[in-house]
Every structure is written in structure tokens, then in C-alpha cells.
Amino acid sequence: MILSDVTLREGDQMPGRNYSIEQKVTAGKKLDELGLAFIQPGFPITGEKDRTVIRRLASTTDAQIIALARAVEDDIEAAAVAEADVAEVFIPISDLQLEYSLQKPRNEVLRLAREAIDLATDHGLVPHLTLIDAFRTEPEHLSEVAIRFSDVGFVTLADTVGARTPISVRDLLSTLQEDVALSKIGVHFHDDMGVATANALAAHEVGVGKADVSVASLGERAGNSALEEVVTSGVVEHDVSFGVTKDKLIPTCRSVLDIRGNGRCWLAEGNTGVGSNGTRIGYPHSSHAP
């Protein structure tokens, strides 16, 4: 499993946060030193700030830089203007999201996704597809989408409302495995029930190819799977760091928090092979939301 860091985009969605271009670029370059496969700095259709950040990072990092995009022509054009490496198109997929978010039938949404992905490809972008609320969607619908979009880099399943635990994560992914290569599946978890890291590890154990993470679980509401927790747990339980340079993990997480002005962080001292002076870095959960 490889990791996609969403700290820069998710952190910007937290209440009361407004990070500058320089803060995001500097933090992005620090994250790149870890050897991450992907970094998702922002949502370029939202404005010139995110387009500039994506453009500057894409020209300087080893990580592939992801631009988030709806299945809308203007969003894909913005990703292309930002010179991103990857356009990550997201669409709702559960019955609830289709009915109340878009008021469109599933086939129509999938048609829009295909048009967006084809447009991204025409612009020279690598397309990924993220399915909103995937973990509350019937497995047959997820299998259909994964097969229909087997040409994209990854199809990512999002636990958008943070409503799943490792048992249900394993159950769903094991069911999908009957029809879909999990190496082409990504996962995106929220920490509303305090198990986002455990969910990412469960997905790894089943064979998923990619997981979204963020430093100190920074992100909207309760945040996401914590980068440092996922890597540390991977080293302890599976002797795998998911491509991350272990001895840079804790210093980099501290630097990113300092650059972004997120206040204090805490570190539990220990010796698990992830670095000389720490096993876990965190951010007080009371600060994730009002």
C-alpha cells in the first residue's frame, strides 16, 4: 500500500484556518522529503491560491501532485491550468448522496465522471476517481464502478461520514475482492469514531493499494487517518513503512505543524523503529472542530 497525503487540502477545510501559499508550498516540500507517492495540496477550481500551490509543487516534488476536481468541465480545466500530475475526480455514489446532494440517478453521475476523466486524460493528467460515501453503498454498485473505470490510476472509496470500523471495512473490501483487484483501490477515512488509522491498517491487511493520510489527523470534523500513526503501526505490525522514510517521519510532522501554525503537538516517546525520538505525533482532537 502506498500513501497519499491530504494534509494541505483537508487542513484548509478546518474551521478558522486560512493557510497562505507560502505555508502550503513549504509544508508540501517538507512532506515530499518523506518519499510519499502522492500529495494532494488543494482544489484548484476554488481559486488562484490552490492553483499556484499545485503548480509550484508539481514542478519541484518527486511525489505526484493531485488536484481535486468534481466531475465538471471547469474543474478539470482548472486542474490542467494548475499543471497537476493527477486529477482526482470525486462523485457521490451512495443512494443518500445521489438523492440529496446531486438529485441525479447513478448512471447519469457515472456518465459525467466518464466525461471528466476522458477530459483529464486529453489534458495529459492521470485520472483518479473517488467515490463519496462508498462505505455506505451496496458492494455491487462499487464493483460496477471499479470495473467500469478500470482505466484510472485508483478508484478510492471514501468513508465520508466516518461511520465504519475495521470489521465492516474488512467485510466490504473482502466482498469487492471477488470481482475487483484491490491493488487498484484506494481508501479515505475520517476519524469521527476514532478508528481512521485502524481502518487504514485493516484495508492494508486486505490488500488495498493506496490510503489517504494527513499529518496529526488534520482535516475537517475529526480529521483523517494520521500519517504518523499509519506508518508507525505499519512498522510495528507488518515491518512496512508504506514507502515513507522512517527516520524523517517525526521531524517532518513537527515541521509541517510548525509551518502551518497549528499550535502545539504532543509526542509519546518510545522506540519502534520510526525514528530516534518518537513513536506518535498528535494534535488535540478538541481543536479539530468548534
Q: From first to last of the 290 residues of the chain, give the pLDDT tens digit.
A: 999 999 999 988 888 778 899 999 999 999 999 999 999 999 999 999 999 999 999 999 999 999 999 999 999 999 999 999 999 999 999 999 998 887 899 999 999 999 999 999 999 999 999 999 999 999 999 999 999 999 999 999 999 999 999 999 999 999 999 999 999 999 999 999 999 999 999 999 999 999 999 999 998 888 999 999 999 999 999 999 999 999 999 999 999 999 877 544 433 333 333 333 333 433 333 333 22
Among 51, 46, 49, 61, CA closest to 4:
61
Report the pLDDT value the prediction gives residue 24, as an integer from 0 to 100.
Answer: 96
In the block, cell 486529453 appears at 122
Among 178, 179, 175, 119, CA closest to 152:
119
Report the pLDDT value the prediction gives residue 264, as an integer from 0 to 100.
Answer: 40
Residue 286 DSSP symbol:
G
Report the pLDDT value the prediction gives residue 262, as an integer from 0 to 100.
Answer: 56
Helix (H, G, I), strand (E, B) or coil at 1: coil
Q: Tell me phi and psi for residue 65, to 5 degrees.
A: -95, 125
- Those residues whose C-beta lies under 8 Å from the C-beta of residue 87, and which sit 6 or more positions away, are 66, 67, 69, 76, 79, 80, 116, 117, 120, 123, 125, 126, 127, 128
Report the pLDDT value the prediction gives residue 14, as an integer from 0 to 100.
Answer: 86
User: Can you give the length of the chain in residues?
Assistant: 290
Report the pLDDT value the prediction gives residue 266, as an integer from 0 to 100.
Answer: 37
Cell of 55: 503548480
Answer yes or no: are the C-beta atoms of 52 and 84 closer than 8 Å: no
Report the pLDDT value the prediction gives residue 5, as an integer from 0 to 100.
Answer: 98
